[in-house]
Amino acid sequence: MNIGILGAGSWAIALAVLLEKRNHSISLWEFNQEDAQMLSERREHPTKLPGITIPESITITSDITVPILSSDYILVVVPAQTVRATMKTINEVVDQNSIAAIKGWILASKGIECSSLSLLTEVVTQELSVVDSSKQVVLSGPSHAEEVSRGIPTTVVAASQNNELAVEIQNQFSTDSFRIYTNNDVVGVELSASVKNVIALAAGICDGLGFGDNTKGALLTRGMVEMCRLGRAMGAEEMTFSGLAGFGDLITTCISQHSRNRRMGELIASGLTMDEALNKMTMVAEGVATTKSVYNLAQKYNIDMPITTEIYKALYEDKSPIEALKDLMRRESKPERD
């Protein structure tokens, strides 16, 4: 199988290394020409995924036409807020017949576009008219690049409205350390992948403030409630949120030392502003932009999402994390299932 990977961050590299072991032909696209040259020469990303060798058989390029014209399947692993720009570029430099010839587009990016509040599958369809939902799969679950690249076992889901395509990805991408289940709830899986990063920011703030296990357990549970509320409003299946893409990824992202969103929360708790904290990050914390998207979706659908609201205020209105916590704890008393 010929697979093109758009993006060359830690998750993209991890997937490239994983899939190369299945003897697939891999081309890896890096937007920045200097970074692409560095990766080609060093065969390693010294800051994003140090210690992981990129096999020589993997083609690394800054020319986006290379993976598009040479691949049967395309993995989208660019930052969520750049997916639209990437699709626009493809539309401009690749003919429609070549785009239509791609058998499947697998989205491994996680987030919701801020400007339009669109899910990433929607963004792809909006920009590439020949790519409808039957050609898209969302790959998500507890899968930090640092562990996947080292063959540490995990399980994820491949969600698509086209079950045959989901099964094809399941069969071709699974390894002894990377087990894939199929799912047909694309909206639920995409929302899970996005909202869990907002809750991970809150988890990092809790860690940064020195709170304990009780706090973390309560946060994850009530965070899941918010995820389900938004999912119901947007037509997702509630069972999805208790699965790998939902609770599985939520737990991982909120407790892991590898979680960039949890780390971002720690920096906010230390007293840094959002911009100051972002400047200290070496990788993209998708939860920052996603917090704005999820907050606006909550307003759009008139949903009560208090944790999301307080994280939004901490990030975008410079609200003190301590005051945010106090406001959460002092909310009007109500039944748990209300």
Residues 12 and 146 in one domain: yes
Residues 160 and 276 in one domain: no
Q: What is the pLDDT of residues 36-59, one digit of tens each?
A: 999 999 999 999 999 999 999 999
Residues 9 and 138 in one domain: yes
Q: Which domain holds residue 84?
A: 2-184
The residue from 184, 211, 240 where one domain ends is: 184
Count of structural domains, the chain: 2
Q: What is the pLDDT of residues 207-226, one digit of tens each?
A: 999 999 999 999 999 999 99
- For tokens 């307080």, the residue is 310
The residue from 184, 202, 221 where one domain ends is: 184
Q: Examine residue 207 and state whether it is found in any structural domain, yes or no.
A: yes
Whole-number pLDDT of residue 66: 97
Q: Examine residue 13 and state whether it is found in any structural domain, yes or no.
A: yes
Report residue 283's pLDDT band, with 50, 70 and 90 as the boundaries: confident
Helix (H, G, I), strand (E, B) or coil at 137: strand
Q: What is the pLDDT of residues 92-151, one digit of tens each?
A: 999 999 999 999 999 999 999 999 999 999 999 999 999 999 999 999 999 999 999 999
Pairing verdict, β 104-107 and 136-140: parallel
Residues 245 and 149 in one domain: no
Q: Examine residue 335 and state whether it is found in any structural domain, yes or no.
A: no
Domain with residue 223: its CATH number is: 1.10.1040.10
CA dist., res. 191 & res. 298, Å (int): 12
Of the candidates 201, 197, 210, 216, which has an alpha carbon nearest to the alpha carbon of residue 274?
201
* Angle CA 141–62–79, to nearest 5: 30
The residue from 184, 216, 246 where one domain ends is: 184
CA dist., res. 25 & res. 276, Å (int): 41
Question: Known catalytic residues?
Answer: 196
338, pLDDT greater than 80: no
The helix (run of H) or strand (run of E) holding residue 74 is strand 73-76
Report residue 337's pLDDT band, with 50, 70 and 90 as the boundaries: confident
What's the CA dihedral at 193, 112, 272, 263 to 10 degrees?
20
